[in-house]
Structures are given as structure tokens and as C-alpha cells.
Structure 1
Amino acid sequence: MKTIFRHSSISLPLKLTFLIFSMVLNCMGIIILQLSDEKVNYNKLSFLESFKDIPIAFISLFAVSFISRYGTKKSLIFSMLLVGFCSVILPFVEVFWFYKVWFAIIGTCFAIGKICVYGIIRNNFLEEKEMAKTMNSVEASYMVGIFAVNMGFGLLISSRFGEFWKFGFSVIAALSFFTAYLFSIAKIKEPIKAKTKLIPNLSGFGNMTIILFIAVIFFIVFTERSFNSWLPAFYKDHLKVDSFFALQSTSFLAVFSYIGRIITSKVIHRFTLEKYFTACVIGIIAVLLTISYIQLTFPENSGVLVYIFPLIGLFLAPLYPVVNSKMMAKIDKDKINTFTSLIVIFSSLGSAFSSMIIAILFEDKILNFYSLYVLLAVLIILIFSVIYFRVSKEKN
């Protein structure tokens, strides 16, 4: 009974952590939309994403050492308090450079937070089914965060108080402080402290299976970021919808992504991971080909794309957890933090490169090729994943 109570007291702040990080990381689409209205050009906005992603990649190299020294609980409390403080002061700063600093701090906190969350789940949920259930619910809360931040800010921006949209971050700040409090009173089992180098030992992570896995992860996030940050701007610039509905594009994408992950958790045991992953990738390709056909052949009917784009979430959302679960099952428990840091690093690099390239499409007014560009990335995922699954089978 005590174990059940302890697990429930841990799972709530873990879900809130991913919910909060989802909101602050995926508010990029909102900020791009609002700042572009203030005549900030897309070249500047593309590098704004980099100020979030590059620190995530860089800090992840040192986060394992930081967490090992101070513990997962203290590290998570620190990251939550810092996110809360940054969200409090954001509405009062008008200069563009502060957004760069703000996203750099948020990225740093996320790098620490994600490694801590994975470590806490691994060390506090010993039964495989319980661990899988917790991981699934925590990951699902990330999709809820995307929906909540876009719906909430969309309503605020479209209201008569739209000029005060940045004060919406005060709600995120309150949630951050509340989550830090929940962690402070939670009883969390910490791993045995061990001396770690400033940069973790990456030996053993250079084999072909892991390299292919990292490539697949890179392009999955590359594809996800193409939608999560830039879909609202695409809706507004190309499909000529208002700001509120443009933001809801990401909300609907998040809803379908959530549904995709729930369906996956229910049916994945009926299929091999390889077949399920490949089927999802083919589903994305089918939707993108449909979008491209409509966009290039019937441009006068492009408005229907508003309803088709979110369907991609059904097939895109399962990719990341499916391929992760296959790989993480093979990683030794004592190396999980280091391996998670590698996932965080290459995920953030995929996000940064995606935003830079998408910005070129926007700046050069060639949005007719938006879906074809994303399709190219998905085809690369298909090629690398086929090779990855084949190599994995040969090693087994």
C-alpha cells in the first residue's frame, strides 16, 4: 500500500514536469506567429529555435555529472523553479534578445529535467508493466501540454486582451512552482551516488545499431518540429486563416498525436515493433502525398488542408516512443542517463536544423513545397529505420 501511494505521489509531478516543458518548448509557434506580426523577419526567428535546441544539446553532455552530484530530486526542483522564474519575468521584457536568453535557459532546464524524469521512472518503478504504464502516461502529458498551450494562448490572443498575451506565461510559472513543491514532499528513491566525469563515458555507444538509432531519432524530431513550430505560421501565411485558428492547427495536431499514442499503447502487443513503426511511416507518407497533390493540383482548394494536416499526428506521434522502447530495452541500467543524454542531444539538433531550413521556405515564399520538404525527411526515416531494424535482427 505504501508503495502504491509513493508511486502515485511521484507520477503526478512527473506528468506535470512533461506538461510544463511541453508548454514552454512548444510555445515557439506562438512566439513566431506573434513576432512575425511585429515585423521580425523569419531569418531571425529561425535562429530563435536554435537558442533553445543548441543549449539542450550542449548541456546534456554535462547534465549527467550535475544530476549525479545533486540527485534527481534536487535537480528537478532546481529546473522547475528556474522555469517558473523565467516565465514570471518574460511579460515585462520587450527586447528581442531576451527571447534568445529565455529559450536558452528553458533548453538547459529541459536537458536536466528529461534525464531526471527517465532516471526516476527507471529507479522507482521496478515492475515492467508499471514502468511502461508510467512512461506512457508521462509521454502522453507532453501532448496534452501542446494542446493546452496553443488553445490557451489562442483564446487569449483572439480576445480583447490580446495585447497582454505574454501574461499567459504566469499560469505556466504557477504550475512550475507547484510542481517543485510536489517534488519537495515526494519520497523518491535515488540511485547510489557514484563519481562521474564532467563529460560522461560514451564508450560502447559507437556501434552501428546505436548510430542508426540516433539517425532515426534525429529525423523523427526533425519532422515533428517542422509541424509543431511552423504549422501555425504556414496556416496564416499560406492558407490565410486568422491567428486563433492558426494556433489551433497545432492543438488539433496534438490531439491526434495523443490519440495516436493511446491507440499504440492498446494495440502494439499485437504487432512487432518493426512492422508497426513501418506502417506508421507509410501512413505519414500517404497523408503528405495527399496534401502535396491537393496543394499543387488544386491550389484553390488549399483550405481543406487545415483539416488534413492534423491527421499526420496519428502516425507521427508513435514513432518516437516505439523506436525508443526497442533501443532502451537493450541498454544497461547504469548507462541509462548517459544514453538519455545522447537522445536529448540529437533530438535537439534535429529540431534546430529543421527550424533553420523551414525558415528559408518562409523567407523565400516557397511554401508550396512545405509538404514535399517534410516528405523528404519522412522518406529518410523510412530508409534509415529499415536498415536499423535489419542490423538489430542480425545482432540478435
Structure 2
Amino acid sequence: MNNQRILLSLFAIYFVFAILLNSVGTVILQVINTYGVSKSAASVLEGFKDIPIGIVSFLVASQLPRFGFKRAMLMGLAIVTGACIAMPLLPGFWTAKLLFLSVGVAFALVKVAVYSTVGLLTRGPNEHASMVNTLEGVFMVGVLGGYWLFSAFIDSANPGSTAWLSVYWVLAAICLFAFILLSLTKMDESGTRVEGTSPRQDFWAMIKLMAKPLVYIYVISVFIYVLIEQGIGSWLPTFNNEILKLPAAMSVQAASIFAAGLALGRLGAGAIMRRLHWYPVLNVCLLAMALLVVLTLPLSSDVQANPDINWFNAPIAAFILPLIGLFMAPIYPAINSVMLSSLPTHQHSAMTGLLVIFSALGGTTGSLITGSVFEAFDGQVAFYLSLVPISVILVSLFFFRRAVEGREVGASAKLTV
């Protein structure tokens, strides 16, 4: 088994799915302008993506070791390739819904398979944490590239133009490349499931994981984190456009600072986590996030539209607020790695299934809440509300650390006996 080629395949898959999954904010802005839908109606696109992720993960995560991780990833790539081709051929809001439905179903297959494959390639918690951070860093590089890719096809002078749909031909080509690369890569998936178990037993084993205090504290932490990230990420382009008065293409480009912060934070987190304990690092990150929200949002008040706006005279809030991504970055990979490293390899698929389910639920909840508050009040109020889940996750991480340390002490006691 060629580990380097497998890693390249995983990076290619995660890169293209990063663009598709995190294009929701951009597509929300474009369907509002192109098809004339309301903000609350456009916000359902997050649900069309996240709800299928949760449902499919719940149904199939425990069965993927039996089906095959490589097959699951190939199936996911085939689904999204077809959906990307449909976008420019059949333009309409319903096609956008179909796209994100397809992306959700495919990502449920892909993420469980990718995370489980990481467990096959690594030895020990440090190596696992390093690879997860690198993988999530590549994901955020894809998110960053996606903002600029989409903005290149947006006609700011004609908001109702459908020219932006041509970006999906490029995305279909990237999906096809990833499909071919993976299909030519050999993978050894032995040891990924317990022999002699039935599909029903595998499914109930996943459900039983939820009974463990460590696991339910973990999924609560994941839910809250993704609620924050998707609430900000999905609505930042619209915030830039309506509150900071940036043109549509520039609004999307400015939102890429958020993705760049996430990418840099995650790529750098591996080195930091090797030297420092994850818990104090994440606490500092959460407090910095809250401070940035409190100090930056007042700068977005009463911004006047400027027809000659450019990068040199744009409101300073357009550059500072997205930096919240830099501090947010280490949280998700860190808690995922801590959780998965505490489990045997054959449980990684089931645990990742739970991770994907609660990530999807958190993403949908965050986008819907932010969109509804954005429409009822304004973007400032919507983003100020992020202080609430930031406070909640501070508390949940305290109990998560206690549960992890309690498990480690229990395991050491058994070895001593």
C-alpha cells in the first residue's frame, strides 16, 4: 500500500469537497441576486447540505468498513460530478438545492471514509493529530481557493447574471481528476472491522457509543463548534455585501480571509499541539474569538456605500473580523483527534459517523439562526450572537477534558492490574 499516493488522493478529495461544501455562503448571495429569493428561503441551502449528511452518516457509517472506504469515496465523487454538471445546464434555485443535497449525501460517505483511512495510515496519537490537522488544513486551503474561484465568475456589474454558474464546469473537472486518481490507487483496508459481526450488530455498536459520557460531551462540543463556524462562514459574504457595502465579487473575496485564517491556523496547529496541551490552547483561542467579535463589530456600524470602493479604502472591519478564523482553526481538529485517538481502529468509522451527524446538525442550526436574525434585525446582531455558543463551548471543553483524563486514568489502572 503506497501511503503517499493514498494521502495525495485524500488531499484531492478533501480539496474539492471543501470548495463545494463551503460555497454555501457564496451561493446564498448569488441565488438572492440571481433568482430573487429571500434570505430566509436562501438559508435552507445549508439544510439541504447538512441534513442529508446527518441522515446518511447515521444509516451507513457503521457499514462502510463492510462496503469499503475506497468504494465509498469513489461513489461520493461520482455523485457530485453529476450534480456539478447539472448546475449550468439546468439553472434554477431548485438545482442549487439538488446540488447541496448531492454534496451532503456524498460528503457523508467521503468524510467517514477519509477519517477512517487516516487511522489506517498513522501510528500513535501524535502522528494522528498531525495528519488530521494537515488534512483539515488542506480542506481550508480548498475553502480559500473556492472563494477566489467563484469570485472570478461573478459579474458584479450585473447581479442577476447567471455567468457564475460556469464555475461548476471547473469543479466537475476537479471531481473527475480526484476520481481517476483514487481509482488508480491501491488501498489495504484489512483490520477496519470486527470479523463475525452482522450489519445490525455494527449499527448498534455505533449507537452504544453514545452512551459513554466522553462521547456525548464530545458530540456536544462538535455541534457547538460547527454552529459557530457555519453561522459566520455562510453569512460573511452577505455581511460584507449588505453591512460593509462591498460589491458582490469583493464580498466573496473578502470572506476568503476567514478561510485563510482557518487554513493557516490548522496547518500551524500540528506544530503547536506537539509542544503544548490541547486544552489551554483551545481556551486561549475561544477567548481571542470573543474579544475579536466585541472589538471589531462596532467598526462595521454606519458604513456608507462608496461607488469607488477598492481594497485600499474598504472598511477595516472587512479585514479584521474574518481573522476570527485564525483562532477558531485548531478547535475542530484537536477535539476530533483526541476522541479518535482514544478508540481502537475498528471503531473509527462509527465514531466518525457520529462526528459527521452532529457536525451537520450544528452547521444547519448555525446557518438558520444567523440567517433568521440577519433578516429580522441585521448582520451585526447576528454576529454578536456568536458570543453565546463561544461561551457554551468553553464550558463543554472543560467537561470534555475531564472525561478524557478520566478515561486515561481508568485505562492505566487496568494495565497496572
By how many angstroms is 1:276 displaced? Answer: 0.8
Query: How many Å apart are 1:335 and its aligned residue?
Result: 0.9
Is the 2:15–2:138 contact (alpha carbons within 8 Å) kept by the matching residues of 1?
Answer: yes
Match of 2:105 among 101, 104, 108: 108
Q: What amino acid sits opposite 1:181 in the alignment?
A: I
Counterparts of 2:303 and 2:92 in 1: how far apart (Å)? 38
1:322-380 deviation digits (Å, cap 9, x = unpaired): 11122212112211100000000000000011111111122224223123111111111
- CA shift, 1:187, in A, is 1.2
Which deviates the most, 67-76 or 330-339?
A: 67-76
Q: CA RMSD in A?
A: 2.2
State the distance in 1 between where 2:74 and 2:405 align.
Answer: 41
Report % sequence identity: 27
Q: Which sits farther off after the overlay, 164-173 or 88-97? A: 88-97
1:394 Cα shift?
A: 3.9
Distance 1:384-1:181 versus aligned 2 partners, 3 A rule: same
Would you say 1:9 and 2:2 are equivalent positions? no
d(CA) in 1 for partners of 2:92 and 2:23? 18
* Aligned position for 1:151: 148
1:209–1:70 distance in 2 versus 1, CA, 3 Å? closer
User: TM-score scaled to structure 2, two decimals?
Assistant: 0.88
In structure 1, how many angstroms separate the alpha carbons of the residues matched to 2:147 and 2:314?
23
After superposition, the Cα gap between the structure-2 partners of 1:55 and 1:63, relative to the gap in structure 1 and judged at 3 Å, is same
1:334-349 equivalences under 5 Å are: 334-349=346-361
Distance 2:65 2:300 in 1: 51
Partner of 2:263: 258
TM-aligned CA deviation for residue 40 of structure 1 = 0.6
| Aligned position for 1:304 | 316
* 1:138 correspondence with 2:150: no
2:218 counterpart (210, 213, 217): 213
Shift of 1:121: 1.7
Q: Gaps spanning 5+ residues in structure 2: where?
A: 305-312, 410-417
Partner SS, residue 112 of structure 1: helix
1:359 aligns with 2:371: yes
1:23-62 CA distance string (max 9 Å, x none): 1111111111111113210111111211111110000012
Aligned mate of 1:242, from 238, 243, 247: 247
- Name the CA shift for 1:200/1:123 in 2 (closer, same or farther; >3 Å): farther
CA 1:68 to 1:270, structure 2 compared with 1: closer, same or farther past 3 Å?
closer
Quick check: 1:22 aligned with 2:10? no
SS in 2 for 1:229: helix
Matches within 5 A, 1:1-80: 6-38=2-34, 39-80=36-77
Larger deviation, residues 260-269 vs 137-146: 260-269
Between 1:67-76 and 1:33-42, the stretch displaced more is 67-76
From the superposition, tell whether residues 248 and 105 of structure 1 become closer, same or farther in structure 2 (CA, over 3 Å). Answer: same
Query: Does structure 2 conserve the Cα–Cα contact (< 8 Å) formed by 1:144 and 1:254?
Result: yes
Note the alpha carbon deviations across 1:110-147, whole angstroms, 9 max, x for none.
00000111122212344665544433322111101111
Is residue 283 of structure 1 aligned with residue 283 of structure 2? no
1:277/1:130 Cα in 2 relative to 1: closer, same or farther (>3 Å)?
Answer: closer
Q: Partners of 1:72 and 1:117 in 2: how far apart?
A: 8
The aligned amino acid for 1:154 is S
Structure 1 unpaired stretches of 5+: none
Q: Distance in 1 between matches of 2:128 and 2:270?
A: 13
Q: What does residue 412 of structure 2 align with?
A: none
Match of 1:226? 231
8 A Cα contact 2:120 2:345, kept in partner? no
What secondary structure, in the 3-state scheme, does the structure 1 residue paired with 2:316 have? helix
Is 1:164 aligned to 2:163, yes or no? yes
Separation (CA, whole Å) in 1 of partners of 2:254 and 2:156: 18
Instruction: Note the alpha carbon deviations across 1:169-201, whole angstroms, 9 max, x for none.
Output: 111111111111111111101135654228442
Query: Structure 1: how far apart are the matches of 2:128 and 2:262?
Result: 21
CA contact (8 A) 1:60 1:111 kept: yes
| Other-structure match for 1:196 | 199
Q: Which moved more, 1:122-131 or 1:362-371?
A: 122-131
Distance 1:299 1:172 in 2: 35
Q: Residue in 1 aligned with 2:174?
A: 175
What is the Cα deviation at residue 160 of structure 1? 8.2
Give the distance between the partners of 1:207 and 1:66, measured in 2 at CA.
21
CA contact (8 A) 1:57 1:345 kept: yes
Change (3 A) 1:94 1:262: closer
In structure 2, relative to structure 1, the CA distance for the partners of 1:107 and 1:12 (3 Å cut) is same
Contact conserved, 1:294 with 1:302, CA < 8 A, in 2? no
The TM-score with structure 1 as length reference comes to: 0.92
Post-superposition offset of 1:295: 4.5
Mapped contact 2:128–2:341 kept (Cα < 8 A): no
Q: Which stretch has the larger CA shift, 360-369 or 49-58?
A: 360-369
Q: Which moved more, 1:35-44 or 1:158-167?
A: 158-167
Partners of 2:89 and 2:224 lie apart in 1 by 36
